[in-house]
Amino acid sequence: MSEMERQLTPRQVLILLRVVREYISTGHPVGSKALVESGAVDASASTVRYELAELEALGLLGHPHTSAGRVPTDAGYRLYAHQLLEQPLGAARLPIDLSQVRNEVDAALRNTTEMMSQVTNLLAVVTAPPLETAEIRHVEVLRLQPRMVMVVVITSTGGVTKSMFPFEEAVDEKLIEWATAYLNEQLGGVRLGARALRQRLFDPGLGARELEFMGALEPAFTELVGSGEQTLYVGGAARLVQELRHDDLAEINDLMLALEERAGLLQLLRGALETNRLYVRVGGEEAIPQLRGLSLVAANYGLPARNLGTVSLIGPNRMDYVKAIRSVRGAAALLSDFVEQVYE
């Protein structure tokens, strides 16, 4: 329980949660009369008005000048979202079958991202597993020209990389055949980020000629890790723009800027990767200026002993948090099952 929640009476918590739910549903400020007439609060209208004023004084509700009703502040949304995390909401069953994409992690992440955005009308963002977590499945060494060699590396996630290596002299075809067999024997099943990878490349029993050739091809394996930023899959930007009201256009513009400057967004999502709990950030709680008018719900997916990536939904503070939480949990469970089959 947060310090703010400890300051509230049970009735104040009830009223706050009701105001947030009503405002999310209707988009209109919520007044004491509506709360009493709906039966949401068992108290007189004057008592409810007093409690609304107290919640406003605590910074949990705002009071638009043109209305007698209240609307949630960032702090109010935050308390509401954290209350939901304590409830057994469960995970949504997303209408997607990842068995059709087999071992293609890229396709699975794209399909999941698109389905999440369709179900929620929010912006779905999924991070791919770091490249260093992928295992080498197959290596092919090819001589394209007498002095030009290509190394193809196929990983457990379905990724394929190609590296070109020029040589000053023609490369013997028998050396090419030996290298293909040797690399598959030594590196098959080894993670790209494993410390043992380089040791396996340079077996002490190799001759000078083979050691020199492995030294030339080494970057095909060691330079893949850390060569670029983590991949982001984004879906639903057009739908989110259509859903938002005209007074949310500033938030939309900020979000587009955040997506263009991906480093900050990746840093935020790494926070979800470091926890095994659902990750919720609301409005001004964000360290990224462009996301201060928006909310994020995220969870990690991966293996039992290692988180590999995050699934997240981003939208206005007035989002349907229940649907977002259930959808994120469902997508995380789906991808965890999928990558466990791929990696294990």
Residue-wise pLDDT tens digits, 319-334: 999 999 999 999 999 9
With respect to residue 90, please indicate whether it lies within any of the assigned structural domains: no
Total domain count, the chain = 3
Tell me, yes or no, whether 13 lies in a domain: yes
CATH code, domain with 177:
3.30.390.10
Q: Is 158 in the same domain as 108?
A: no
pLDDT of residue 105: 82
Q: Please indicate, yes or no, if residue 67 is contained in any of the structural domains.
A: yes
CA dihedral 93, 96, 98, 100 (to 10 degrees): 150
Which of 222, 239, 271 is where one domain is finished?
A: 222
- Percentage, residues of the chain above pLDDT 70: 88
137 in any annotated domain:
yes
User: The domain spanning residue 257 has which CATH number?
Assistant: 3.30.450.40
CATH number at residue 37: 1.10.10.10
The last residue of one of the domains, among 85, 119, 144, is 85
**Residue 263 CB-density burial (10 A; 0-12 exposed, 13-18 middle, 19+ buried):** exposed
Q: Considering the domain boundaries, does residue 265 fall inside one?
A: yes
Same domain, 118 and 153: no
Q: Assess if residue 18 is contained within a domain.
A: yes
| pLDDT higher than 60, residue 178 | yes
Check whether residue 248 and residue 329 sit in a common domain. yes
Q: Report yes or no: 151 and 165 within 8 Å, Cβ to Cβ.
A: yes
- 29-69 per-position pLDDT tens digit: 998 888 888 877 788 888 888 999 999 999 999 988 766 78
Q: Which of 144, 145, 153 is nearest to 218 (CA)?
A: 153
Indicate the DSSP class of residue 149. Answer: E
Task: Give the model's pLDDT for residue 287.
Answer: 61
294 forms beta bridges with 316
Q: Are residues 47 and 12 in the same domain?
A: yes
More confident residue, 148 or 128: 148
184 and 261 inside one domain: no
258 and 332 belong to one structural domain: yes
Encoded amino acid at 155, one letter? T
Identify whether residues 186 and 274 lie together within a single domain: no
pLDDT digits (tens, 9 = 90+) for 243-280: 665 556 666 676 777 677 676 777 778 777 777 788 88
Pairwise CA distance, residues 106 & 142, whole Å: 26
Q: Is residue 70 part of a domain?
A: yes
Shared domain for 73 and 166, answered yes or no, is no
Residue 220 and residue 201: Cα distance in Å, rounded? 11
Residue that terminates a domain, selected from 222, 244, 263: 222
More confident residue, 72 or 87: 72
- Indicate whether 269 and 121 sit together in one domain: yes
User: Taking 90 as the threshold, does the pLDDT of residue 116 lie above it?
Assistant: yes
202 and 249 assigned to the same domain? no
Residue span of the structural domain in which 159 resides: 132-222
Residues 237, 339, single domain; the answer is: yes
**Same domain as 214, residue 137:** yes
Helices (H), the chain: 3-7, 10-26, 32-37, 45-57, 74-85, 105-120, 173-187, 196-201, 208-217, 219-222, 237-243, 249-260, 262-273, 321-343
Does residue 92 lie in a domain region?
no
